Amino acid sequence: MLPIKTSKRNLLTIGFAAFTFVMLVIAAFGAVNYNRFYPAITQIQMRILSLQTIPLNNIIEVKVAFAVKNPSDYQGLSLSHFGSTYSVVYVMSPTNNITALGGNLPYPSMTGSLNPGTTFNVALTTFNITANPTQMTSQPPTMIVFNFQPSFILSTFLNKVTEVIPSYECTSSGDPAVCDQTGLTLITSSVGGGPGGGGG
């Protein structure tokens, strides 16, 4: 019995199919990792590690330290340009609060890896607030609540096309606290005036 001959063209088609299969397998590995990217950026945790208040006459020196953690198993994230704004709420009485906008916290330029499961400790920063916002009365506030709005640039595989900036909201009156992710901003530059946007 003679074997059935397969033409060169058919053999090339079979080779093409085999190559396609190999490329699909390679792309599948990338796809699996890519699918873990979005959950990973939403899971990045920010918390106030410590918040110390030291009264000095009419001012209070505040020392705050933040920590950022990547609890996911996604590899390839790092942090840079950490920054934060803050505001202070003086609770004078159950019905009387005074809010003071504080501005930006001074942070040096920093970069840090966010490997799976690791925590990046942001350098301690110090700022001063007034001890009593109503200087006329001697009644001091019963409690001072700090609101921080930290954010940072998240370096990802998307660096060539966009900067990913998660922003958080943290509230504490002196204890360590977990922050809530409130927004995700993308700043694009190299993809020709693409999408950009402010925090949520």
Partner 1 sequence: MEEARTTAARINQLLATENRRTAVLIPLWTLAMTATFAQALFQRASMTYLDYGLAAAICLVAGIIVIDLGRALLSYIATMALTTFLLITLLSYPATTTDLPSPGNLLFSTLWIIVVFTTIFPLPLIACLVATVIGAMVGEKYF
Q: Return residues touching partner 1 (CB under 8 A).
A: 1, 3-10, 12-14, 16-17, 19-20, 23-24, 26-27, 29-31, 33-35, 37-39, 41-42, 157-162, 164, 166, 181-186, 188, 191-192, 194-200
Burial class (CB in 10 A: 0-12, 13-18, 19+), 174: middle
Nearer to partner 1 (CB atom), residue 31 or residue 59 = 31
- As measured in angstroms, the least distance from the Cβ of 112 to partner 1 is 21
Structure tokens, 197: 């946007």
- As measured in angstroms, the least distance from the Cβ of 91 to partner 1 is 29
Task: Please list, in sequence order, all residues whose beta carbon lies within 8 angstroms of the beta carbon of residue 152, skipping any fewer than 6 positions away.
Answer: 68, 79, 80, 81, 82, 83, 165, 166
Structure tokens, 114: 């966010």
Within 13 A of 147's CA, how many CA atoms are on the CB side?
11
Q: Give exposure, 158-169, as e/b (b: 16+ Cβ within 10 Å).
A: eeeebbbbbbbe
Nearer to partner 1 (CB atom), residue 8 or residue 101 = 8
- As measured in angstroms, the least distance from the Cβ of 61 to partner 1 is 33
Nearer to partner 1 (CB atom), residue 94 or residue 193 = 193
- As measured in angstroms, the least distance from the Cβ of 86 to partner 1 is 20
Nearer to partner 1 (CB atom), residue 14 or residue 98 = 14
90 alpha-carbon distance from chain centroid: 28
CA distance to 45, 86, 114, 116, 129, per residue, from 111 (Å): 17, 22, 10, 16, 28
- As measured in angstroms, the least distance from the Cβ of 166 to partner 1 is 8
Nearer to partner 1 (CB atom), residue 37 or residue 127 = 37
